């Protein structure tokens, strides 16, 4: 059995694993990444990147549908689902090659195989060529998550998860989406853009329930206007799911009444669970909480030289959160860290729905429940010149601040391209900005970002200044 030793081993080569490995190598550590599938993980191959490629195709197609508004004409505008998939695969492959290049450039050892902790400081890796033993000074668990199926049989023909929906052979005529969170909202936008009849089933009281309630209500209103059926406060009766050559049916219960839904396909988008099985965590006594690895300061587990990063460490399931945690662990081990934790309230939360949603910090409800002296300011995109130019004057920006400290404690956006400039609010949160500072930051005109400045003015008790 071959054996190699490293200062740091990442068990999992997804967002947190590969970025953390690169940072560790830059800091002079000997690093290995053990990956049983493909470098880049869920985000690159089954999540962020392919879904946004799908959504970009849908966005361009939607622009074609509204070409009259721009004074343009075109004949026989249509789509080819096979070519949409080719575009999606091209985007994924190009990014995958980029990750592989970075690993080679930084001289990181990539071990393709399934790793299992076999003892203190030891991992047994089952590779295509046999078993290899890896020893380490430090270990970072970065195995990510997988979709929860809720006991529903996923057949890859009529019933899909967000992991295998890419294998669907054709665009359905109708789809039931179980889950109205980020994944469900994004796929609903994609399908609706191409004329697919969509029904979203959400257990809680509104869409994207983890985000600001007012934003969720606005998104639901706009979805309903576009013909997307949204059923909230619904209990999915999972053992009622039936699929055959004619489609799929599922019963839901709303306000005590049972109803049957029918469509070509069912997409399970309700939740994800930690990938911990078979890792040998029990060998070291690594603590878990509801299937996720428990971490404290510097993303350490209860075992001194074992860390966890990304989705497996719980919290927001976002690639950029995983990036930040991977970097934190690498810098901690190298003795170069300036942070001891990644503050959840400064992690941007983007949703690439139509319209887009983005947020940072506390929702208005969370802020009030925290006891803050809450002040809010809003600015609608109906009054923004750039939103009118791009023919998307919908949504708003809301700034939430603490009247006592003066700090901005939350920013919530729904509208065109808001996922791009939420970064300004994130930087403001990081630097403990006040609404006055956001308002008096000079925003270029005409841009969508001006709405943030105007909302900040409103939080200061001022009226709108311009369009």
- Tell me the per-residue pLDDT of 183-228, one tens digit each, with 9 for 90 and over: 999 999 999 999 999 999 999 999 999 999 999 999 999 999 999 9
Domain shared by 266 and 282, yes or no: no
Domain shared by 198 and 309, yes or no: no
- The pLDDT tens digits of the residues spanning 90-102 come to 999 999 999 999 9
Domain shared by 282 and 323, yes or no: yes
Q: Which of residues 295, 310, 344 is at a domain's end?
A: 344
* Residue 395, domain CATH: 3.30.390.30
Q: Which of residues 270, 299, 314 is at a domain's end?
A: 270
Summarize the confidence of residues 2-20 as an average pLDDT. Answer: 96
**DSSP label at 297?**
G
1 pLDDT exceeds 70? no
Confidence at residue 465, expressed as pLDDT on a 0 to 100 scale: 73
Q: Which of residues 270, 289, 313 is at a domain's end?
A: 270
CA distance 362 to 55: 27
Catalytic machinery residues: 445
Domain shared by 418 and 379, yes or no: yes
* Residue 9, domain CATH: 3.50.50.60
Task: Answer yes or no: are the C-beta atoms of 272 and 148 closer than 8 Å.
Answer: yes
CA distance 276 to 397: 39
- Nearest CA to 345 out of 325, 365, 359, 329 is that of 359
Confidence at residue 467, expressed as pLDDT on a 0 to 100 scale: 64
Domain shared by 25 and 137, yes or no: yes
H helices of 127-242, where?
182-193, 213-225
Length of the chain: 467
Which domain, by its residues, includes 173? 159-270
The total of structural domains in the chain comes to: 3
- The pLDDT tens digits of the residues spanning 61-74 come to 999 999 999 999 99
Spell out the residues 6+ positions from residue 415 whose beta carbon is closer than 8 angstroms to its own: 355, 356, 381, 384, 387, 392, 394, 395, 396, 397, 448, 451
CA distance 43 to 163: 10
What percent of the chain is modeled with pLDDT above 90? Answer: 97
Q: What angle do CA 423, 100, 51 make, to 5 degrees?
A: 50
Summarize the confidence of residues 314-318 as an average pLDDT. Answer: 96
Confidence at residue 461, expressed as pLDDT on a 0 to 100 scale: 85
In a domain, 165, yes or no: yes
Domain shared by 368 and 317, yes or no: no
In a domain, 361, yes or no: yes
Query: For the range 406-409, what are the long-range contacts, defined as Cβ-Cβ under 8 Å and sequence gap of 24 or more?
Result: 406/434, 406/435, 406/436, 407/432, 407/433, 407/434, 408/361, 408/433, 408/434, 408/435, 408/438, 408/456, 408/459, 409/345, 409/361, 409/362, 409/367, 409/372
Average pLDDT of the chain, as a whole number: 96
Summarize the confidence of residues 302-307 as an average pLDDT. Answer: 96
Task: Answer yes or no: are the C-beta atoms of 251 and 260 closer than 8 Å.
Answer: yes
Classify residue 436 as exposed, middle or buried by CB count within 10 Å of its CB (0-12, 13-18, 19+): middle
According to DSSP, the residues that pair with 243 across neighbouring strands are 248
H helices of 6-151, where?
15-26, 41-45, 48-65, 81-105
Domain shared by 36 and 114, yes or no: yes
CA distance 70 to 401: 38
Summarize the confidence of residues 351-357 as an average pLDDT. Answer: 98
- The pLDDT tens digits of the residues spanning 427-454 come to 999 999 999 999 999 999 999 999 999 9
Domain shared by 182 and 139, yes or no: no
CA distance 316 to 313: 9
3-state SS assignment for residue 128? coil
Domain shared by 253 and 300, yes or no: no
Per-residue burial over 36-63, b if 16 or more Cβ lie within 10 Å, else e, is bebbbbbbbbbbbbbbbbbbbbbbebee
């Amino acid at each position: 059995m071959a054996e190699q030793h490293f200062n740091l081993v990442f068990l999992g080569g997804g967002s947190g694993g590969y970025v953390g490995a690169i940072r560790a190598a830059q800091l002079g550590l000997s690093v290995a990444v053990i990956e049983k599938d493909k470098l880049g993980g869920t985000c690159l191959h089954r999540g962020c990147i392919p879904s946004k490629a799908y959504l970009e195709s849908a966005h361009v197609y939607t622009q074609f549908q509204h070409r009259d508004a721009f004074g343009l004409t075109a004949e026989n505008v249509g789509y080819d689902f096979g070519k949409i998939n080719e575009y999606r695969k091209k985007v994924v492959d190009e990014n995958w090659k980029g990750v592989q290049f970075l690993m080679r450039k930084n001289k990181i050892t990539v071990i393709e195989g399934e790793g299992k902790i076999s003892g203190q400081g030891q991992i047994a890796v089952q590779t295509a060529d046999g078993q290899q033993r890896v020893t380490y000074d430090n270990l970072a668990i970065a195995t990510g998550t997988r979709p929860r199926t809720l006991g529903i049989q996923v057949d890859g023909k009529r019933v899909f998860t967000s992991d295998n929906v890419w294998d669907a052979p054709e665009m359905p005529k109708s789809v039931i989406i179980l889950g109205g969170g980020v994944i469900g909202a994004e796929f609903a936008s994609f399908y609706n853009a191409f004329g697919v009849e969509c029904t979203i089933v959400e257990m809680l009281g509104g869409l994207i329930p983890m985000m600001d309630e007012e934003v969720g209500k606005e998104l639901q209103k706009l979805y309903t206007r576009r013909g997307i059926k949204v059923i909230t406060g619904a209990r999915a009766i999972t053992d009622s799911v039936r699929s055959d050559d004619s489609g799929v049916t599922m019963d839901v219960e709303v306000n005590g009444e049972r109803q049957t839904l029918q469509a070509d396909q069912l997409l399970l988008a309700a939740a994800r669970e930690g990938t911990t099985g078979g890792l040998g965590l029990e060998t070291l006594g690594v603590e878990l909480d509801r299937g996720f690895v428990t971490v404290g300061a510097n993303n350490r587990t209860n075992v001194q030289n074992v860390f966890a990063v990304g989705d497996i460490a719980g919290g927001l399931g976002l690639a950029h959160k995983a990036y930040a945690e991977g970097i934190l662990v690498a810098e901690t081990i190298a003795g170069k860290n300036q942070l001891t934790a990644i503050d959840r309230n400064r992690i941007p939360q983007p949703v690439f729905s139509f319209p887009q949603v983005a947020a940072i910090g506390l929702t208005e409800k969370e802020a009030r429940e925290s006891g803050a002296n809450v002040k809010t300011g809003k600015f609608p995109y109906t009054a923004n010149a750039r939103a009118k130019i791009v023919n998307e004057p919908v949504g708003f920006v809301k700034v939430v601040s603490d009247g006592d400290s003066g700090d901005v404690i939350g920013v919530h956006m729904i509208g065109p391209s808001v996922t791009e400039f939420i970064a300004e609010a994130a930087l403001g949160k990081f630097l403990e900005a006040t609404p006055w500072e956001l308002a008096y930051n000079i925003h270029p005109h005409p841009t969508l970002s001006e709405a943030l400045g105007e909302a900040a003015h409103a939080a200061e008790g001022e009226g709108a200044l311009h369009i």
